[in-house]
Each structure stands twice: as C-alpha cells, then as structure tokens.
Amino acid sequence: MSAGAVLYAATLAHLRRRTRVFAAPPLRAAMPRVTLDDPMLGAADASGVSGRVGTIAVTYTDVGEQPERLRALIVAVETAMETMPADLGAEGWRLAGLRLARSRLVRGKAEHWIGTSTFAVRMFRIN
C-alpha cells in the first residue's frame, strides 16, 4: 500500500470514530457533509528512512443562511485531528508531524457554505 493510501485510511478511520465523514462526496446524504480528500505527498527520503511530506484536507458542505453548524463541525474535526495517533497501523508508517496549515469557510452558490481544513503532514518509515 502506498504512503498516501496508508495515511488516508488511518485518517478516515480516526475521524469516523468522532463524526460522520465520507470518502467521496455523497449523492444523497443529509447536510452537513464532511469529505476527506486524497493526500498530496512528496518524497522526503533519507538514508535508511522513507519519508513523505505534504497535505491532507477535509472539505465541509452545508446549506442555510448562517454557517453555525459548519463552524462547530470544523472545530470538532480540527480538534480530532490533534489527537491523531503517530502509528498509522500499516507497513511501518508513522506520523512525524501533523498540524493545521489552513482553515477556510466561504459562501458558495444557492445558500451553500463550503469549508476546508488543510493539514500539513510529515511521515516516515524505517527501511
């Protein structure tokens, strides 16, 4: 399994213990919706160590005049990500760092609200 797939699976499992989160935008789910995006990773190898650096993002969608439900959901997910375990559970990959890099909430079309939390990730595996 690739490092990105390991990170994605571990993050999805971790967040699903705390809230309803989807692997892809659902066609018929009630609002608000939380979707985990695929990670964007680059190589950061060293002698005897495989390393990856990049980002993983969570996207939120809701409807209504005010984004209060979405704001609460964003806080819940960002707080949950702070407790992400270092051991990613597959093939020896471990987190070396995970921090919130950017969080955004904007008004979309037709009374939709769209939020994004982007997390900077550093991970490694001893060869």
Query: What domains can be seen in the chain, in order of their start residue?
Result: 3-126 (3.30.2000.30)
pLDDT in tens, 3-38: 999 999 999 999 999 999 999 988 888 889 999 999
**102: closest CA among 113, 85, 115?**
115
Cβ pair 112, 65 in contact under 8 A: no
What is the amino acid identity at position 27? L
Cβ pair 124, 56 in contact under 8 A: no
pLDDT in tens, 39-84: 999 999 999 999 999 999 999 999 988 899 999 999 999 999 999 9
pLDDT in tens, 92-107: 999 999 999 999 999 9
Q: What is the pLDDT of residue 3?
A: 94
| Residue 54 parent element (H or E) | strand 49-63
